[in-house]
Structure 1
Amino acid sequence: MTGLATSIRRSGSALLGEMVSWQAAANIPRRNRGTFLVVEEPTKLVCYRASRAGPIHKADGPRDDLTWLSKVVGNQPVEVRLGADRAVVRSLTLPAASRNHIDAIIRHQLEQLVPWPADRMTFDYDLQDDEAASPSDQLHLRVVAVSLSAMRSAIDPFSAAGIKPVVVGLAADPLGKASAINLLPGAKAALTERRSRIALLSLCVLAAIGTFMITVGGWRLYQETQEAKRIEASLVSLRSTIDKARQKAEQADSSSVKLARKWDQAPMVVLMDELSKIIPETTYLTTLDVADRDVRIAGFSTDAASLIRVIEDSDMLEAANFSAPVVRDGDNGKERFEILARLVGAKTP
């Protein structure tokens, strides 16, 4: 039992990891974007307001005193774009099959790409624009890394001024688009945790739906089973009644009573029971009429011609013939037939 539980936990963890990797490759959920965009330039900071029409210039100011910026942005979230001198940018090519495991591969190769140890830097990556539009057998990535000391010197003045950066990108990237890179320490872990929660919630919802469907299906199966048992019990009771009636009639001394049971007073249920025994499973009836000893049988069959012999072999029916041409039905592909027969012992006019 312990081994089964361990196997289930491992499978669930692997599935959760695959769902998180898929979300990362599909950029789900999308990264946050600040209300204001602050871009580092060599001698100053430039503040823009982000809008759908493009960045709107709001103010310029020094990098060492951000009082002016605090008055502009207030408590709104800010996206900071670092100058090129702070970051290291590298290109990396991976097989397309590794799309759902990019983060793990980059972490493994990170120290070969940048000059800092893994525990002294923050990094992020994005697919090149043409990769998203035209998938191929290779992935071309841009890996961006910044040392933690450089990151602190860049964002600590913002925190000291009461400004909250939510994204840290590169000044070289287009200002009109949301940054595909977020170097803010802890942002990647927070995004991964958010994706894990989404994946876990999705799995719980799917499990709940599956459980509900299994429960509903099981209940319906139970109801159908109970209904089948009820019908079977009714048929057993009906057949028992018919058998008792036959035995009682056969024990009667009067031959006229026997003849009346067989032919003159044969109940419809006896005839139906006889037909249910002789008619093959590939045939089903739609009409059964008895009038003046004439019996009209209609329905559908895969082999209507064989029914004449089957009916003739019955102890209750004779003189069976088709009363209408046999035609093939276009809806179910079976032969539609109509047979006229007479009860055995009836006088033929």
Structure 2
Amino acid sequence: MKEALDRLLARLRMRLAKTPIPRFFSWWGTELLACLPERWRKLIAGSNEALLVEQDAEEFVVSRERERHTVELGRIARNLGAEAQVAEFRRLQASIQNPALRAIFCIPESSTLTRNLSLPAAAEDNLRQVLGFEMDRQTPFKADQVYFDSRIVARDSASRSLRVELIVLPKALLDPQLASIGGGAIDFDAVDVRSRTDGDGARRGINLLPVEKRARRRDMRLPLNLGLAAAAVLLLLFNMSESLSNRQIAVETMQAEVDKAAAAAREVVDLKKSLQDSIDGANFLSEKKRNGVLTIALLNDLTGRLNDDTYLERLSVERNQIQIQGQSKEAASLINVLGDSPFLGNPKLEGQIQPDPRTGKDRFTISAEPRSAVPAQAGQDTQDPGLQATVSGDGEPKEDSDGTP
């Protein structure tokens, strides 16, 4: 199960390496580091430190690698006992600030066999397995006789091929060296190749040590990263919850202000309506008087237009209807006479003209519509008391005190 998971993770790492994402994060990390103070950059770069162990003719040389530069910490004699070698290694390891640095056993480049291979691009997903099959064909060893590692030097997308560098080290050469220091009691994290021709003795950056022989370290990065990711998610959820809560409070506050403003607006509308109703009530009679037909002016106009052989028995003014009842010797001609009145509109006879045997005149009923426009002169004439007329209950006009009808 673990091997299948390792293969799956390796396949995912290879596919990720084909994308521009690693190059982008590498560039981004470099730019971010450049913005930090130098002390912080050195602190972060400390994670790339390592403790190097090399076999010399009579001694084991222990060095500290930091920022691609190595500083010798001490030497351990090969003729010491295994326990003494382990104790001396632990002492040198404890002399540095970070004793948990990776321990890497370095061998000279001349002890390894290097081959450059051209493989199909599809072999990248199972590169180690493919190299194991190619081992006896590309080298004089079988796969179970060597420790090997590889590096992808270049990818050719046109030909869909890979250029791979294969580094091979016989087990018979490495196992005695690892057993000679501390009797094999010292666990190394990696076995790398260090070039003696370079001025700084740079490592290849490979690991020839098989997984089962590597030092077992508890990698705290995974749980730490998971914890940080969980904390980030919790903080994000908390932030979103607080944002929603604050927004809800703001919405409720705004809604309360809107409701208050709406209530004030409704109150203003009600007050305005009440005021308008009061104004309309106060102006109703004056408007009615101004726009309606004045009875006195109507009587004055009828008095001037009707001839002496015509008198009225009843005059009714109700809303939009004026009704005139009376007697006249020429009742049919009254329609034309009343049609010229500025107070009467569309006068017409209602029913038939009936003769009255007692008076010898024709009894008539005329209806008309009141006109809203009242001439100013007519309105002025209504103020003259000398032009007023009255109608008796029996239809006969009364005489004034001076004897005139």
TM-score scaled by structure 1? 0.46
- The structure having more radius of gyration, on CA atoms, is 2
TM-score scaled by structure 2? 0.41
